[in-house]
Amino acid sequence: MRDAYTDQLDSIFADLAGICRRVETAVGLATRALMNGNATLAERVISDDIEIDRARERVEDTAFSLLSLQQPVAGDLRTIVAALRMVSELERMGDLSVHVAKVARLRVPDVAVPDEIRPTMEQMAVVAEDMVSRVCDVIISRDVEAAIALGRDDEEMDGLRRRSFAELLSDDWTHGVEAAVDVALLGRYYERIADHAVSIANRVVFVVTGHHPAALAE
């Protein structure tokens, strides 16, 4: 009986890692759709999001079943509660990828990102994708040091976000209000994807150590 319970606990993190890889794919495809004005890719991201939603429901079902039938305590309880929060954040990251794809689809056959701001937006996308990939590894390995390092690296995304605002508010901006709104929203979407990745990494630290990263840094 205990072995089955342990297997179920382990399966929750395996399922979280699987959802994270789906999110990683979604972010990458949404970015390609955005930068290339590709409606087909955008539609794929939007339609595939249902699989992330269904995977979230399966994790929640397993977690709630363990809570009601096993009455876990201490580390096991910490793992299950953290998993419920992590899966919610992963779903939100998938939703943010859908938002990027919808902006791309809305502007087809044009590209939503003006050439002048394209390098900044491309770098934001690269950082977001990298952070998603790294948090997937953290979920699998439960590597506390890697999780803490991910939080520190979020500063690069914050700097890029500030740069994008400076560019769209510049006197040299000639693309109008509609493009400015697109850029502001896209920057926010990528920033939030990175923020969720950091939050998930922090929850992994809590599962492993019983402490939040800030407490460990003291």
Q: What is the CA radius of gyration of the chain?
A: 19
Burial 142-151 (b: 16+ CB within 10 A, else e): ebbebbbebb
In the 3-class helix/strand/coil scheme, how is the chain assigned residue by residue?
CHHHHHHHHHHHHHHHHHHHHHHHHHHHHHHHHHHHCCHHHHHHHHHHHHHHHHHHHHHHHHHHHHHHHHCCCHHHHHHHHHHHHHHHHHHHHHHHHHHHHHHHHHHCCCCCCCHHHHHHHHHHHHHHHHHHHHHHHHHHHCCHHHHHHHHHHHHHHHHHHHHHHHHHCCCCCCCHHHHHHHHHHHHHHHHHHHHHHHHHHHHHHHHHHCCCHHHHHC
Residue 6 scores a pLDDT above 80: no
**Residue 152 pLDDT:** 82
What are the pLDDT digits (tens) for 162-207?
999 999 888 889 999 999 999 999 999 999 999 999 999 999 999 9
Residue 50 scores a pLDDT above 90: yes
Chain centroid to Cα 216, Å, comes to: 24
Q: Does 46 or 62 have the greater pLDDT score?
A: 46
What are the pLDDT digits (tens) for 66-85?
888 777 777 788 899 999 99
Residue 217 scores a pLDDT above 70: no
Q: Give dist(CA 123, CA 44) in Å, integer.
A: 23
Domain boundaries, the chain: 2-217
| Domain 2-217 top-level CATH class | mainly alpha
Q: Who's near 168: CB < 8 A, 6+ residues apart?
A: 117, 180, 183, 184
pTM: 0.93
What are the pLDDT digits (tens) for 119-172?
999 999 999 999 999 999 999 999 999 999 998 878 899 999 999 999 988 888
Burial 62-98 (b: 16+ CB within 10 A, else e): bbeebeeebebeeebebbbbbbbebbebbbbbbbbbb
Within 13 A of 138's CA, how many CA atoms are on the CB side? 27
